[in-house]
A and B are shown apart, each in its own frame.
Chain A
Amino acid sequence: MPNRILILGAGTGGTLIANKLRRRYDAETEITVVDKDDRHVYQPDLLFVPFGLVAPNSICRPRSKQLRHGNEFRLGEVKRVETEKNTVHLKGGDTLPYDILIVASGAELLPEETEGLTGPGWGETAHTYYTVEGAASLRKAMESFEGGRLVVNIVDMPIKCPIAPLEFCFLSDWWLRKRGLRKKTEIVLATPLDGAFTKPVAAKMLGELLEKKNILVETEYAAGRVDGAARKLYSWDEREIPYDLLVSIPLHGGSPLVGSSDGLGDELGFVVVDPNTLQTKAAANVFAIGDATNVPTSKAGAVAHFEAETLVENVDRFLAGKELEKSFDGHANCFIETGFNKALLLDFNYDVEPLPGKFPFPVIGPMALLKQSRLNHLGKLAFRWLYWHLLLPGRPIPMISAQLKMAGKDTKLLRSEGGNE
């Protein structure tokens, strides 16, 4: 009897795991991927849309076209998963049975959960660039911006690509300088964190970079509501931040399908999994990948890519009745665009915070970790091509291993204790 693998979501995680599994198994194994629409967005490029560096339509491609031959794409909205019956219920009444289920339903934006955010001024003086439409409307607002207060606010963690709001600040600084508006503009980053980033060494370096670029940081700022008519942002402890242009990174939650499925999610709707095997706590034959999970590392495509290595192995082991491999280490790896055609590179996992050094090889690099360089910027741009042609199709990416490597990292800056979380 054929094995039926069902994957919920054809984003980065769902697509690449489907393609990796397709490469491993013959036609005896059925692989079906369900999504509610057929638009795959290359999300790293959303950051560049407001600055006119990429066109919104150039970052989208059909989801169905990214799947390997032999994988079935099914359009449909998932209502809930019934793990006791190995069945997924679709809106409209159809059901899909499975032997193995992989939840790859990502994270959703919840701007309406912040009082007033989607009220007066939303799409005019308050925007988010975390969606294609939002990034396009912010593009128009940036074009007509004449100076004043540009406020970037992370409402609360977790968010997708936690470094992106900093990149937005850096790029704004560069873009405003280019247009002769920087002297007339205050850039403010209001963050719920107690520094620029959650990990100490990177937080210090990024904090210094923000200061150097004259970007003001309001820390431990828990945004409670927005008064769109008066253009003011308020925290729960009533700290007021006036703005002329608000760039909000709204609250994130898991897909509603997770919340509607008994025992699958946590209180924010993210799938509760073992952080090393990616098996759900709800059922042994249900796994999750990417932004949909509750694992304590960044919600980012690179993480989904590293998780896929573990997941392919564990699907195989599960089918063979073997013990699962505890190999995912929380590895995340991201380029941080800092403006003026330069970028930084971070590489970290559950236990090791981002450190300076060279990547992927010691001494020769060629990439520099935690340091601005032109090559890192080119790396970020090259990643566009790698994404569509190597990462999504499930091909190996040369020289980058799924587990974090300590070679090339400078550990001098680690505090003797408590430096890592």
Chain B
Amino acid sequence: MTTVTLAGTPVEVDAEGFLEKPEQWTKEMGEEIARSVGIEKLTDRHWQVIDFMRKTYLDTGSAPSMRALGKTSGVAIRELYELFPKGPAKLAAKIGGIPKPRGCV
């Protein structure tokens, strides 16, 4: 576990930069993480996905997979990839300050 400073606040992240404590997260941190992964501006469509990921994680304890995201977030998979080109579920989780989604065994 390492500590980094995001939006002026020190937070704990894992080896891949995912927040360890979702409660430390703020929207400003999300915007900073987004820029670090190459997404300059977060639009309303981005936020729809990020908020959905975060809410699902906080409600159920696990983040939805990409397929579940495509079925339930209101954003189809094709658009998810336009919004988050390097992997929607992973990037939205990272920006939203929740742990990396795990593929079920």
* Residues in chain A within 8 A of chain B (CB atoms): 156-158, 162, 192-193, 197-199, 220, 222, 224, 236-237, 251, 266-268, 296-298, 332, 348, 417-418, 421
The reply to whether A268 and B67 form a contact with Cβ atoms under 8 Å apart is yes
Number of residue pairs spanning A and B whose beta carbons lie under 8 angstroms apart:
52
Taking the nearest CB of chain B, how far is it from the CB of A221, in angstroms? 10
Q: A157-B65, A267-B71, A296-B105 are in contact. List 18 more A-B contacts (CB 8 A).
A: A156-B65, A156-B66, A156-B67, A157-B103, A157-B104, A192-B66, A197-B105, A198-B103, A199-B105, A222-B87, A236-B78, A236-B81, A237-B81, A237-B85, A267-B68, A297-B105, A348-B105, A421-B102
Taking the nearest CB of chain B, how far is it from the CB of A199, in angstroms? 7
Taking the nearest CB of chain B, how far is it from the CB of A290, in angstroms? 15
Taking the nearest CB of chain A, how far is it from the CB of B43, in angstroms? 19
The reply to whether B104 and A198 form a contact with Cβ atoms under 8 Å apart is yes
- 25 A-B interface contacts by CB (under 8 A): A156-B65, A156-B66, A157-B104, A158-B103, A158-B104, A192-B103, A198-B102, A199-B105, A222-B66, A222-B87, A224-B77, A224-B78, A236-B80, A237-B81, A237-B85, A251-B67, A266-B68, A267-B64, A267-B68, A296-B62, A296-B105, A297-B105, A348-B105, A417-B1, A421-B102
CA distance A332 to B15 in the complex (A): 28
B72 within 8 A of A: yes
* Residues in chain B within 8 A of chain A (CB atoms): 1, 14-15, 62, 64-68, 71-72, 77-78, 80-81, 85-87, 102-105
The reply to whether B87 and A198 form a contact with Cβ atoms under 8 Å apart is no
The reply to whether A268 and B85 form a contact with Cβ atoms under 8 Å apart is no
Q: Which residues of A contact B14 (CB under 8 A)?
A: 418
Task: Please name the residue on chain A nearest to B73 by beta carbon.
Answer: A267
Q: Which residues of A contact B103 (CB under 8 A)?
A: 157-158, 192-193, 198
